[in-house]
Structure 1
Amino acid sequence: MKLIKTVDAEGAVLCHDITQIIRGVTKDAVFRKGHIVTKEDIPVLLSVGKDTLYVWEKEEGMLHEDEAAEVLCEICKGDHMERSQPKEGKIELTAACDGLLKIDTKALKGVNAFGQMMIATRHGNFAVKKGDKLAGTRIIPLVIEEEKMKTVKAQTMELTGGKPILELKPFHHKNVGIVTTGNEVFHGRIQDTFTPVIVDKLSEFDTEVIDHVTWDDDDKKVTASILNMIEKGADIVICTGGMSVDPDDKTPLAIKNTGARIVSYGAPVLPGAMFLLAYYDRMAQGKNRRTVIMGLPGCVMYAKRTIFDLVLPRVMADDEVTADELAALGMGGLCLNCPTCTFPNCGFGKGY
């Protein structure tokens, strides 16, 4: 850095904050480190007693914090995202549409372990709305080696396969079939209070319920209905009830007998331990078509938030859920049943 006269500072970059003190009114930085001085700024700087300024002197091989911030932004920003202009080495990313946020956590950790730079994000695998803040980047020093930024970019691209660290997967329209099971509901002994809960949760997304049937505990009828809904074009089939290990709870067997690939029967989430997830893949009109089949345990009917709330956004974004990912939900998979629910702004489902 070098010392120059304030009257000659137009276009120069400040090396430190400039504080303005007005008794009883303010004591704050009137200009921040990294600010590029304009002609209009000069009278203000003189008014706070700055006849001279320490400014950044461009050096070969060094980047100003805002220039380096552009590199971090390029590493992070995926499609369907908007960005802010660089300010004090910071750039923020926001969602340009509703969707599911995905984060390459290994690459994110790699950048943050590199030193002199950081990326902070919200949790991945959760739904976001248009305009939501997704991430913020920051270069720590005022200037940083250009070679260092090239190295972190190369290493990150190697980890991600050339993709950005953040990905926003838009939600898609889904046709849904619902199979309600249980002798007590089928014979009218109790009212079906499960289906309205499912319909309400589906209404948060672009969905259409194209079929709904109610059966007793007959696995063959349930299997036939699932396959029939798939034939009708259901992208999602949701089965409610009959998900425990009791001998007369036959929904898991009915799902298995469709020939669908069972991802997991059981998940380390409370509420939601008896959850079942399966994928039914087939060729239709020369294209591979997939229907997601979910068996929902009874807790989804009465608990505010469950495993269903963690998996449904991923299904809506065509984001395949693996058995390993379900297993990883154990840490953070315990809902605390807070008197006032703040989900998703809480720790539920945010393990690793």
Structure 2
Amino acid sequence: MRKVPVDEAVGMTLGYDITKIIPGREKYRAFRKGQIITEQDIPKLKDIGKEHIYIWEPDEKLIHEDEAALRLAKLVVGPGLTWTDPSQGRVNILADQNGLFKVDVEQLNQINNLDEIVFATLHNDRVVIKGQAVAGTRVVPVAIDRITIEAAEKLCAGMAPMLMIKPFIPLQVAVVTTGTEVYSGRIKDGFAEVIRQKIAPFGGCWMGQVIVPDDSERITQEIQSFITKGAQLVIVTGGMSVDADDVTPQGIRETGADVVFYGAPILPGSQFMLAYQGLVPICGVPGGALFSRKTTLDLLLPRIFAGDIINRLDIVAMGHGGLCEGCQICHFPQCPFGKVTYFMNGGSTKC
């Protein structure tokens, strides 16, 4: 790159995109990389504050910002993602399918710790749709030292992709609803419709529902029956509190399933239980899910449908960001609720 005064740049080739910003109105590319500067361009360049510009002159030690951004994008992109052409020195990474966006946050931090490299992403474990921008990258200067890009390539060599989309699996979902008051017909069940709505975005297949009294043996039997019939996710609703009649946690334990946790540092939804019988998740969902729009169940369902195996440290880490603000207008997932920013050693996601 060679810096030249604008007044002397007529006939020269611009080495980078130049952006014009009209405050509060628009931001756009006013001049393109490779554009030949004309006499008419001089006042336009000065109007946007350019007294000097860079002219591209090849240098083996430097990489142009467009090439650098493309190399960075291609370096980290995994399954389910694609990228755009460079524009104003930036490359966007887009979801090529619906699914769960995964970020190796530790690797991301290592790349961003390299001088003059910028890599921004959505949060890990974010539900995304095809065509959605999930990340963007660029370098700070118009041309970056080749050694820096090679250092990024070395960081990623031999590692799993830093970014990927996991598609949702259309799991067979069974629901066991507990509560003597519902079983006897004293009150009407409200969980069936709620659960149907929550599994629909992930392609969940409704296998069926049974309603049982507050009897741990009956709860255990119905869970086992559904799993024997091919259930890939069992959701047990109600009976999760500390009331004398609430025996759902006991019923789940008596299946022999491995309990990951009972009691999550998430509000609302703290009296949630997660267990696994083999690879089949069993979720104990408290009655609060009938009232609160978003709870622990909503935070974990995307990961379950993406095939993640959730461990205890994953749940422990969710306390930071686990408080729902109960906004009058809910913007979830475009909000802080459930956005884990720190992971303990041993968690299934790195930062």
CA deviation digits over 1:109-140, x for unaligned, max 9? 11112120111111111211111110010111
Distance 1:53 1:123 in 2: 37
Amino acid at match of 1:77: V
Kindly indicate whether residue 195 of structure 2 is the aligned counterpart of residue 198 of structure 1: yes
Distance 1:92 1:13 in 2: 23
User: 1:235: Cα distance to partner?
Assistant: 0.7
Change (3 A) 1:63 1:220: same
TM-score (norm 2): 0.87
Distance 1:210 1:20 in 2: 55
User: 1:196: Cα distance to partner?
Assistant: 1.6
Contact 1:94–1:131 under 8 Å retained in 2: yes
CA deviation digits over 1:178-215, x for unaligned, max 9? 00000110111111112221111112221211121000
Distance 1:62 1:117 in 2: 14
User: 1:150: Cα distance to partner?
Assistant: 0.7
Work out the number of aligned pairs and report it: 332
Contact 1:226–1:258 under 8 Å retained in 2: yes
- For the residue of structure 2 that corresponds to 1:247, the secondary structure is coil
Kindly indicate whether residue 286 of structure 2 is the aligned counterpart of residue 297 of structure 1: yes
- For the residue of structure 1 that corresponds to 2:63, the secondary structure is strand
Distance 2:44 2:127 in 1: 47
Match of 2:35 among 34, 37, 59: 37
Distance 1:336 1:113 in 2: 33
Match of 1:325 among 309, 314, 322: 314
Alignment of 1:109-258 (within 5 A): 109-157=109-157, 162-258=159-255
Distance 1:18 1:102 in 2: 32
Contact 1:76–1:164 under 8 Å retained in 2: yes
Distance 1:20 1:268 in 2: 44
Contact 1:126–1:310 under 8 Å retained in 2: no
User: 1:335: Cα distance to partner?
Assistant: 0.6
Change (3 A) 1:44 1:310: farther
Distance 2:312 2:98 in 1: 26
Contact 2:76–2:156 under 8 Å retained in 1: no
CA deviation digits over 1:317-337, x for unaligned, max 9? 101111111111101101111
User: 1:277: Cα distance to partner?
Assistant: 0.7
Amino acid at match of 1:250: V
Counterpart of 1:14 in structure 2 is: 15
Counterpart of 1:284 in structure 2 is: none
User: 1:156: Cα distance to partner?
Assistant: 3.6
User: 1:2: Cα distance to partner?
Assistant: 5.2
CA deviation digits over 1:232-254, x for unaligned, max 9? 11110000011113332111111
Identity %: 38
Amino acid at match of 2:335: C
User: 1:80: Cα distance to partner?
Assistant: 0.9
Counterpart of 1:287 in structure 2 is: none
CA deviation digits over 1:20-67, x for unaligned, max 9? 99xxx99986216xx1226xx7475367489x9640221122100111
Counterpart of 2:325 in structure 1 is: 336
Change (3 A) 1:202 1:2: closer
Amino acid at match of 1:300: A
Runs of at least 5 residues in structure 1 that lack an aligned partner in the other structure: 282-289
User: 1:19: Cα distance to partner?
Assistant: 6.7
Amino acid at match of 1:330: G
Distance 1:18 1:346 in 2: 30
User: 1:8: Cα distance to partner?
Assistant: 3.9
CA RMSD of aligned residues (A): 2.6
Counterpart of 2:344 in structure 1 is: none
- For the residue of structure 2 that corresponds to 1:131, the secondary structure is coil
Change (3 A) 1:238 1:83: same
Distance 2:306 2:253 in 1: 24
Change (3 A) 1:304 1:57: same
Counterpart of 2:97 in structure 1 is: 97
Amino acid at match of 2:276: Y
Change (3 A) 1:19 1:212: closer
